A and B are shown apart, each in its own frame.
Chain A
Amino acid sequence: MKISLTKEKFLNGLQLVNGVVGSRTTLPILSNLLLKGEQNKIWLTATDLELSIRASVEAEVQEPGVTTLPARRLLNVIRELPSDNFTLEIDEKNNAAISCGSAYFKILGLAADEFPVLPQLTGGYSYTIDRMVFKDMLQKTAYAASADEMRYILNGNLLSFKGEKLVVVTTDGRRLALAEQEVEFPKEAEADVVVPTKTVMELMRALQGEGPMKIHVVDKQVAFEFGDILLVSKLIEGQYPNYRQVIPGQCEQRVAIDREILLNAIRRVSILASDKATAVKLTFGKNKLTVAVSSPDVGEAHESLPIKYTGKETTVSFNGEFLMDPLRNLANDEIFFEIIDELSPGVMKCDSAFIYVIMPMRVN
């Protein structure tokens, strides 16, 4: 294989697939990338057996071929190349020669036939959705997924294709995030799948550009395809809990708040939180919301913001990080906060179909 490439494009491609390369690998081949040069492209594939990603980079392919090279090392070499154009040449022993100006690197590779074959998904159902819309849905929800191994089913995003809608849900038992979008698919394609957090993270990184994407669900696997990029991931098996029961019904008080102002206020007062679990106290008074933190061993802080509110004064405490997570990940100027009393869950909504339920903390 012999290929001429530009540094910038190749680097972008490498960075795209590199996150998938397993950090601890028992199979040495898994820390390698599969490189396949054909026509005007070089295809890069990485896998950790749970998740595989394939992407392409434009290249001038003089001789087609295929090999695998150590991912991290290759990335480091390419990143440090002295000028923008370089050639990559692979000999029959899978040694890669990279020449760039007067710099020369020889990297030892492994034969491509040892590399796991990318799973081929056949049958099942596929759904088409705008990729930016989908990325936005993931961004609004991914942070609320549980990292607790004991509740494995919650360690991912639920994608629920039901009744002409896609609902994306995450929860960790103390909060729940949900985003909704209308999607067209036939009745028989209704399905609930849980996509592992790592896949969601890589997917969010990889999703860029305009246009539609295809989500293809087969049995215990899911494939996401857009442009030349393909991600194939295992699904988390099991029954996702009935998340609907978490979402409160009618609310008493709905307050519109400027998202950034609220986020900044919470961030400021949180400086005086003694740890991540310190409660941020929200006091809804007449046309005024007070955000306060008090930690016995550090100090206290409070800040007031103007709101339109005429209900009875209500104080309720939440985990500050949990409050800030959705505020950071939404793009809307204004959010709606719904509260009932100090023991009932708070709800955040915005113009787009998004719901965030957060359980209060009890502070004595």
Chain B
Amino acid sequence: MNDFTVQDLWAKAAAHLQEKLHPDVYSRWIAVIVPDSLSGDDLGLRVDNNFYQSWLEDNYLPIIRDALAAVSGKTFKITFKVAPPSAPSLSMDRTASTDSPDALARRRATPPRSVGRRPAAGFETNLNRRYTFEEFIVGPSNHFSHAAALAVSQSPGRAYNPLFIYGGSGLGKTHLIQAIGHSVLKMNRLKVAYLSCETFLNEYIDAIQNKSHHAFRNKYRNIDLLLIDDIHFLAGKQGIQEEFFHTFNALSDAHKQIVLSSDRPPSDLKGVDERLVTRFNWGLVTEVQPPEFETRLAILRYKKEQAQIHVNDQVIEFIAQSVRSNIRSLEGALTRVASYASLKGRDLSIPELENLLRDILEKEHEKDLTFDLIMRTVADHFDIRLTDMTSKRRPQAVSGPRQVAMYLCRTLTSSSLPEIASAFGKTHATILHAYHAIEKRMAADPTLKQDVSRISHALDRRD
């Protein structure tokens, strides 16, 4: 679908920018950009350091986007990367044709081959037969991770080592990791081990109890592909971290592939040794994001076909529209609707659907910020009691944070002033006053601004 290469595209856009921008600005900020990758609507640009990246993102992104649109007629999603150049083996084209949900749904499986245990490997792999690349639906939210996983499965130990996939629960991390295992097993006779972090931990504990360290070590240091799920469980467990560290080194020294999944990026792994975190960052770290509407639709249609469920498009669309956070609940919702529909012998109306799926929908709603959560986070941050948030006490140490909490409730939620007021046991004028007061103080007091930004980040990061 791309009739030009990334170099062509960028050359045209750069020429356009050169006309528009002052030569000084052009040579300082635009000429230093190196085109890097192009995939569908995603354009990767490379710059020398992260200051270029942040300055360009803050100041020139819209201009660059406009220039690209002017020369190509398309709006690109631009991401800046800081050098070094990416490994060439990442086959992005494979995922480039992800435009319509139908196309996604059509790219469906040859039925999953039974990839069981390989006697040759002599290793229990525990792979779920359903989790193959063929079964994986690719959309913009996960195509980068998918491409990386494919690259790894094609040349284990060489493409990206380790590959670190992170994302929320139910977004397909386990699926991708296991798909690598399947694909590698299918192609060559490598020893593959897939296990969850917890299994690894339990085996380690067994090894300690039975004094069979040696066997444990040999087992994991002599495999070709190690897939570990939910690596964040390592947090705070010193002994196993030590063991894993040595396993990791042994494998990576021998150029064996390691693939890890986690619910957060390596840098956010609290209670994990710095030396492990830096090692996780060695290879490629990629994120799986929640699927967007089209991908959700494609997943549902694919599932529908697979399971021979008969529901109409309106129902499918309703589910795709209302269940957003993860694929697991998406599938759950479809199954429930299908079984209900088959009982009733007809399709369901939207009000019926809403009623049937209300618990899932409510959960989706809970994802939104609650006042309670904001108060709790603010109280934690300032080291005051949660009860002080709603108390009538007014010493400065309490009233300041309380105003911050009111400010955050007002800015981060869409609730009305009276709603917030009743949560704090105050009048709406108090809330409004707090909002303005904090806004004003933030302008003058960088410490407060930092506090507020730190709390907002904490609220963003919550699970």
- Which chain A residue has the least Cβ–Cβ distance from B20? A343
Once the chains bind, are A340 and B22 in contact (CB under 8 Å)? yes
Interface string of A170-184 (1 = CB under 8 A from B): 000110000000000
The 5 closest A-B pairs by CB, nearest first: A241-B51, A147-B449, A24-B383, A344-B22, A173-B58
Once the chains bind, are B453 and A341 in contact (CB under 8 Å)? no
- Which chain A residue has the least Cβ–Cβ distance from B66? A362
A contacts with B: majority SS:
loop
Once the chains bind, are A344 and B24 in contact (CB under 8 Å)? yes
Once the chains bind, are A343 and B63 in contact (CB under 8 Å)? yes
CB-defined contacts of A148 to chain B, threshold 8 Å = 453
CB-defined contacts of B382 to chain A, threshold 8 Å = 23-24
Q: Assuming A249-B24, A250-B24, is B383 touching A25 (CB within 8 A)?
A: yes
Q: Which of A1-53 contact B (CB under 8 A)?
A: 23-26
The minimal Cβ–Cβ distance linking A94 to chain B, given in whole angstroms, is 23
Interface string of A301-338 (1 = CB under 8 A from B): 00000000000000000000100000000000000000
A119 interface hit (Cβ, 8 Å): no
B55 interface hit (Cβ, 8 Å): yes
B350 interface hit (Cβ, 8 Å): no
| CB-contact partner of A241 in B24, B49, B63, B453, under 8 A | B49
CA separation between A362 and B444, bound complex, in Å?
26
Once the chains bind, are B58 and A149 in contact (CB under 8 Å)? no
B381 interface hit (Cβ, 8 Å): yes
Q: Assuming A148-B453, A343-B25, A359-B59, is B20 touching A198 (CB within 8 A)?
A: no
- Which chain B residue has the least Cβ–Cβ distance from A243? B51
Q: Assuming A147-B446, A246-B55, A250-B24, is B63 touching A362 (CB within 8 A)?
A: yes
| CB-contact partner of B49 in A174, A242, A248, under 8 A | A242
Once the chains bind, are B55 and A248 in contact (CB under 8 Å)? no
Q: Assuming A25-B383, A155-B450, is B49 touching A343 (CB within 8 A)?
A: no
CB-defined contacts of A276 to chain B, threshold 8 Å = 443
The minimal Cβ–Cβ distance linking B402 to chain A, given in whole angstroms, is 14
| CB-contact partner of A147 in B52, B381, B453, B457, under 8 A | B453
Q: Which of B14-28 contact A (CB under 8 A)?
A: 20-22, 24-25, 28
The minimal Cβ–Cβ distance linking A120 to chain B, given in whole angstroms, is 27
Once the chains bind, are A340 and B51 in contact (CB under 8 Å)? no
The minimal Cβ–Cβ distance linking B151 to chain A, given in whole angstroms, is 29
CB-defined contacts of B20 to chain A, threshold 8 Å = 343
- Which chain A residue has the least Cβ–Cβ distance from B450? A147
CB-defined contacts of A149 to chain B, threshold 8 Å = 450, 453-454, 457
Number of interface residues of B (CB under 8 A): 28
Once the chains bind, are A248 and B62 in contact (CB under 8 Å)? no
Q: Assuming A198-B447, A242-B49, A359-B58, is B453 touching A340 (CB within 8 A)?
A: no
Once the chains bind, are B383 and A345 in contact (CB under 8 Å)? no
- Which chain B residue has the least Cβ–Cβ distance from A252? B22
B72 interface hit (Cβ, 8 Å): no
| CB-contact partner of A343 in B22, B52, B58, B453, under 8 A | B22
B24, B63, B449, B457 — most chain A CB neighbours (10 Å): B24
Extra contacts besides A198-B447, A340-B25 (10): CB < 8 Å: A149-B450, A150-B457, A197-B450, A241-B49, A242-B51, A245-B51, A248-B28, A249-B24, A276-B443, A340-B22
CA separation between A149 and B457, bound complex, in Å?
9
Q: How many A-B Cβ pairs are below 8 Å? A: 68
Interface string of B352-394 (1 = CB under 8 A from A): 0000000000000000000000000000011100000000000
CA separation between A245 and B58, bound complex, in Å?
15
Interface string of B61-100 (1 = CB under 8 A from A): 0110000000000000000000000000000000000000
The minimal Cβ–Cβ distance linking B208 to chain A, given in whole angstroms, is 35
A145 interface hit (Cβ, 8 Å): yes
CB-defined contacts of B383 to chain A, threshold 8 Å = 24-26
CA separation between A341 and B25, bound complex, in Å?
10
The minimal Cβ–Cβ distance linking A199 to chain B, given in whole angstroms, is 11
CB-defined contacts of A345 to chain B, threshold 8 Å = 25
CB-defined contacts of A341 to chain B, threshold 8 Å = 22
A155, A173, A174 — most chain B CB neighbours (10 Å): A173
13 A-B residue pairs with Cβ-Cβ distance under 8 Å, sorted by A, are: A26-B383, A147-B450, A148-B453, A155-B450, A173-B54, A242-B49, A242-B51, A245-B51, A249-B24, A340-B24, A344-B25, A345-B25, A359-B58
A151 interface hit (Cβ, 8 Å): yes
CB-defined contacts of A25 to chain B, threshold 8 Å = 383
- Which chain A residue has the least Cβ–Cβ distance from B29? A245
CA separation between A84 and B397, bound complex, in Å?
28
A118 interface hit (Cβ, 8 Å): no
The minimal Cβ–Cβ distance linking A349 to chain B, given in whole angstroms, is 16
A201 interface hit (Cβ, 8 Å): yes
CA separation between A249 and B25, bound complex, in Å?
9
